[in-house]
Structure 1
């Protein structure tokens, strides 16, 4: 029977499993190694019990003695390996793309950069559309799309210059940038403002708005919505659409392991 003021655990509950996890989680404080006393305090164990758990984890290969202290070994990563194996970026992003597509009634897409191309890795069509003409895995020239320019803007300078050298500026519409110098200027603008609008450059009837998806300091993808040209006048790009995309990009990054606070 539980003592007054305590929570009754179910019959199946294995207290030693809780204590083992408590010992492992004691190392989450940021210290590279911990003494037996420090582990005992963090895991709410007696010093003798903490020592027994540490010695057992040492025998199993999850902890190693470091002088008078202990530290974790890389083997602890095995505990989360199964979860991480199923945690792909498209899978993480899809519910967020669905929410964004329904909120804005526009098609939402997640893309990555492969050489000179932006590749669609996840896509949710606007609710008003019955068909989707661009499928997962489809490629578009990165230089002439909003998501591509966001991804190029995030490249290190050397890689960005290599991208420019391999780019052939082609006139898709009368609005397409006409020279490599103009393209450089557009991408410099993207680097400064943190988002990109490409209007009617690839198709006369379509515009694209994109923001980066960041994990720490790394841009891992670009989030884009396709906007019919006639719909742009009814909303504010900077005050309505960009914040909505940035918030969705932040949520995708956090769910994919990008939380920094």
Structure 2
């Protein structure tokens, strides 16, 4: 995980540095007259105006989840410029799965799987608001666009019981129950997970928190107003109290989580009226 986060930070640094070099004014020829040099030095680049809104939907994976980490809806619109680079208002909503790093899936004798010691799932709902600065603007349908995103917002942790199938007497009498380390000590009697949809709304608890994210956004080739892109970055999240993902009797849970993530999104652009 440390290597993944370090790679993301290096990517962000390279993107910003390259953008700054690209935006630097061209050097004046030594043979040019002094007056021309002064005019060139004092001339400022024109602001790159944006005139569209973007709405997209995506799938995300992160270092605290499995391959499918969650779902994302994101919206942005142009609101101005910063150092002659377009600035967008960034609004998004994420629903992601958060796991304890110590979770381990174990096979059973009947080819099912379960996570030993897991007491609850933890899903994080994250509305967020921030800014997106565009350093490289796409040239029509050619090339790629690169921008940097900084956003933050509240987190709503949804703690849902994790159920297992347990042979209570060793003779095939299977109960679907939440894991309890004081009762379900014999791993040979666990016949697997009962699935995420088991008693889905029963026993849910909400744990509030806050989160912050920093990301690089890559906008690929588009066809008409359609677009495809990648968002890669890091998130940090702090809950008001410690969720019990794995049993507190078996390990230590945490209030603070950080992760590297990758989101693939698809959406469309809409020109503002009157443009």
TM-score norm. by structure 1 comes to 0.28
Name which structure has the greater RCO, CA cutoff 8 Å, separation 6+: 2
More helix by share: 1
More strand by share: 2
TM-score norm. by structure 2 comes to 0.27
